[in-house]
Amino acid sequence: MDFSLPEELRMLKDNVRRYVDKNMIPHERETLDGEELKPEWREKFQKGAKELGIWHMEVPEEFGGPGLGILPRVVVWEELARTIALPTRGESMMGPSVRAILFALEGELREKYLLPVLRGEKRSCFAQTEPDAGSDPGSMRTTAVRDGDDYVINGVKRYISHADKADFAQVMAATDRSKGSRGGISCFLVDMNTPGVRITAKYQTMMGDAPCEIVFENVRIPAKNRVGEEGEGFKFGQKWLGVGRIKHGARALGVAERCLDLAIDYSKQRVTFGKPLSERQAIQFMLVDSYVELKQARLLVYEAACKMDAGEDTRVDAYICKSNADEMAFRVVDRCMQIFGGMGLTTDLPIEKFWRQQRSFRITEGATEVMKMVIARHLLKKS
């Protein structure tokens, strides 16, 4: 069994690392305005992405993307995550953010929604979470009731990232509540300027972003704005969320590696009571635990990516990636912050932002406990 990356992926990984080290890390405090790239840096980074061959990296070849598999994307995500110079959500240096579910669109919907997003002319948001339905979409209360050639949507969505900047939302709604997530949820494309759509709140978070609450009150949309067949919404979402969970794992690898490298260097330089920190066994054990956990997580993430590229069922592997790697990275960042002491709390270092980011990721896009619950179901079903 060969655990090494193919030569072309090693070259890709090295090229992205060099770019990050030279062009991004030295300027990482200058690039962001909240959770948005400043225009001048967006232009520079996007030019760099095109030169590196990662522009529109997540876009299928048929829509103008480079046709990269999951493992090549993993090595890129991992290297980019070593800097705080990019927002963790939304638009990135690799082009406009495109929810993968949009690639399932055909005909008129493709022309109206997908292609303008790819061209950077429109932005979208994904609206699934509700006040009483986060990790359990089957308890969703937002409904879409068929009325002739239309659907009428009523409900509330909460903690929806970038809703205030979106031109349209991909809304998950119950079309048959008796079926829950097993055929009772459908996905709809809803223009944000449709009568009855209102943003009623913004929630300031520790990450600096402000997800929104959206109210849908008797919102009437054409039936043709449904994505796929009725009841397929949850299935569509789960199909694409697997990639996102592996992406979470890859980003966690980059975060942990950057913080560990910083802590190792600092431990050699910082002298207390006549000795460098690196000679203290307590510090050595923290560094070793971090290194071993990072190495373990990388094997899990790379394996899941390889299996997905091979067309295997990776639903459970993706849950493992998300839960294991995000928890690993939080522990590593926290140890590194402890090694730096008071300096680790300051904004002079990226560690405090990485800490906030990883604390957030242990909850967002699938809490660790939910990931473990699904893995447990899989194990118990096998036995």
Whole-number pLDDT of residue 383:
59
Q: Rounded to 5, what percent of the chain is helix, strand, coil?
A: 55, 15, 30
**CATH number (domain holding residue 194):** 2.40.110.10
Number of domains within the chain = 3
Do 208 and 287 have their domain in common? no
Residue 215: φ, ψ to 5°: -105, 130
How do residues 180-230 score in pLDDT, each as one tens digit? 777 899 999 999 999 999 999 999 999 888 899 999 999 999 999 999 899
Q: Is 12:37 a contact under the CB 8 Å cutoff? A: no
How do residues 31-87 score in pLDDT, each as one tens digit? 988 778 899 999 999 999 999 999 999 899 999 899 899 999 999 999 999 999 998
Q: Helices 70-80 and 281-309 sit at what angle, rounded to 10 degrees?
A: 150
Q: State the average pLDDT for the chain.
A: 93
Whole-number pLDDT of residue 90:
55
Do 250 and 322 have their domain in common? yes
Give the end of a domain, one of 80, 98, 116. 98
In a domain, 104, yes or no: no
**CATH number (domain holding residue 63):** 1.10.540.10
Question: What is the Cα Rg of the chain in Å?
Answer: 22
pLDDT above 90 for 91? no
How do residues 237-246 score in pLDDT, each as one tens digit? 676 778 889 9
Sign of CA dihedral 215, 217, 220, 226: positive
H helices present in 341-367, as ranges: 351-361
Do 200 and 254 have their domain in common? no
Residue 258: φ, ψ to 5°: -60, -45
In a domain, 29, yes or no: yes
**CATH number (domain holding residue 288):** 1.20.140.10
Give the end of a domain, one of 231, 263, 298. 231
How do residues 326-346 score in pLDDT, each as one tens digit? 999 999 999 999 999 999 999
Catalytic, 365? Answer yes
364 vs 264: CA distance, rounded Å: 30
Residue matched to tokens 């959500």 = 89
Do 270 and 170 have their domain in common? no
Closest CA to 62 of 8, 110, 13, 9: 110
How do residues 102-149 score in pLDDT, each as one tens digit? 988 999 999 999 999 999 999 999 999 999 877 777 789 999 999 999
In a domain, 181, yes or no: yes
In a domain, 119, yes or no: no
Do 140 and 78 have their domain in common? no
In a domain, 1, yes or no: no
Among candidate residues 36, 230, 303, 365, the one labeled active-site is 365
Do 163 and 285 have their domain in common? no
Do 165 and 263 have their domain in common? no
Q: Domain range holding 284? A: 234-382
